[in-house]
Amino acid sequence: MTQGTVHATQALKEKHSARKMKNIPAALPVLLSLLSGCAMVGPDYQTPAPVSSDGWFQLGAGREVAHAGSAGDLSQWWRAFNDPLLSELVEQSLRSSPDIRSAQARLRESRARRAVAAAGLYPELTASADARRSKSSEETGGGTARNTFSAGFDASWELDVFGGTRRSIEAANADLESSEAGLYDTRVSLAAEVALNYIELRTFQMRLKIARDNLASQAETLQLTEWRAQAGLVGSQDVEQARANYEQTRAQIPSLERSFAEAEHRLSILLGRLPGSLYGQLEPPASLPSAPASVAVGIPADTLRQRPDVRSAERRLAAETARVGAAEAARYPSFSLSGSIGLEALTFSALGSGGAGTYSLLAGIGAPIFNAGRLRAQVEIQDAVREQAQIDYERAMLTALDDVENALVALARSREREQALAIAAESARNAALLARNQYSAGLIDFQSVLDTERSVLSIEDSLASTRADGISALIRLYKALGGGWTPPENQSRRGGVSPGTSDGKEAT
């Protein structure tokens, strides 16, 4: 064969190789479309059936405080109390609370994990370049030295024939949606906690005022008994009883002041601020916020759609169901493609020559033959995890309904108790005034005065606590209804709960 023939044959080989390399990228979309039609192993997720109840059991008992109309927009329920400071504190906490920042960080983590899972569908491409100088042994290779230069790209791709990677992406999407719902659930809980602590703080202020007012009244009674004792109308026993009653009431004030300070500290921490930083805003006494006379609670299905903790549990169930398929896919054969294309020459300047090109292609298949049942056990483990997630979801639904029922009955009964105590407090104050006047006139003994004064303090303190309990019950009802966040309008709502988006798009 002549030298010209050799060069012509080599040129044809290089041209044929280049044509094959050029056809490889063009074939990728075709291969991708074929793979996208492959069936995925494992169970397909089915949204659980919705709750069947169409009404609240306690609504009849609490019909004076709630009704079954549409719950409406509960995203800013705290504004219904008409307390600007309460609204300001809640909104500050939703911007700066450590709980919110932590939930946001978990959401970023879930988004990154979804990106990691999605990357498994695509080939992995790496670039490399190296320069090498080597010398052979004089005994075996003549002791010659030479340089080698190379540069190129390596690609590897594991084909998702049985859907293991796609199941992992499905699970990652569901995890992301669960984290989004977790962020919303943090908002719901945080708004309620801020409001409850604010009500508790205002309650301690009211109880302090009641104790101080009663202390002033008891001081007058003590002075009255001292005057009567000095006049010889009563003995020293009345004076000592009056002083004991006065000091007992005075002893309650430091305890209430401590509780007020602790409530302020908790509120500051919820806002992500130093304890004591809110004292200037909260120290001036203020009355409890005004509560709406009636609340629309909707139906149980509305609550399950609104509650982000239920949404989060449903998405966790979807994620664990998808992971069953990913575990099942590991029992099937795996297919992989790898290849490289590059340049190789003995001198750096020769890398640009037509004959420096190199390439390689490799297709591989691997199948599990014997693993002592490990892969089958992995599927069984994941199916058990999926069953646990399903039980957690059912528990979340029952807890949501239980929260509403408890809040309804607490709200109704606290208002009944408040009405009775308000009448009792008015009667006790009148009785105390009459008893003091009659004692001054010498018509009754001091024990009657003592009993009525103690009754006034006890009933007024109970009335303040009961009013706070009623407002707290209403706050818990708003929380139980899932108030405190705005549901994304573009999310579908299937089976009584919103499963979130299925394509993994980020919620706004």
The answer to whether the beta carbons of residues 438 and 228 sit under 8 Å apart is: no
Q: How far, CA to CA in Å, does 186 sit from each of 98, 109, 176, 213, 312?
A: 11, 16, 15, 40, 11
Domains of the chain, start order: 47-123+171-333+380-480 (1.20.1600.10)
Kindly give the confidence (pLDDT) of every residue in the chain, 508 residues in length, as a single tens digit, with 9 standing for 90 and above.
444 433 433 443 444 444 444 444 444 444 544 554 457 888 999 988 877 677 777 776 545 677 776 667 788 999 999 999 999 999 999 998 999 999 999 999 999 999 999 988 888 889 888 888 777 777 666 667 778 878 888 888 888 888 888 999 999 999 999 999 999 999 999 999 999 999 999 999 999 998 998 899 889 888 988 888 888 887 888 888 889 889 998 999 999 999 999 999 999 999 999 998 998 888 888 888 988 877 888 888 888 888 999 999 999 999 999 999 999 998 999 888 888 887 787 777 777 777 777 888 888 898 889 889 999 999 999 999 999 999 999 999 999 999 999 999 998 888 889 899 999 999 999 998 998 888 888 888 888 888 888 888 889 999 999 999 999 999 999 999 998 887 765 343 333 333 333 333 333 3
Alpha carbon distance 200, 80 (integer Å): 18
Q: From CA 206, how far away is CA 200, in angstroms rounded?
A: 10
The one-letter amino acid code at 325 reads G
Contacts with 221 (C-beta within 8 Å, 6 or more apart), sequence order: 242, 245, 246, 436, 449, 453
> Which pTM value belongs to this model?
0.80
Other Cβ atoms within 10 Å of 24 Cβ, number: 15
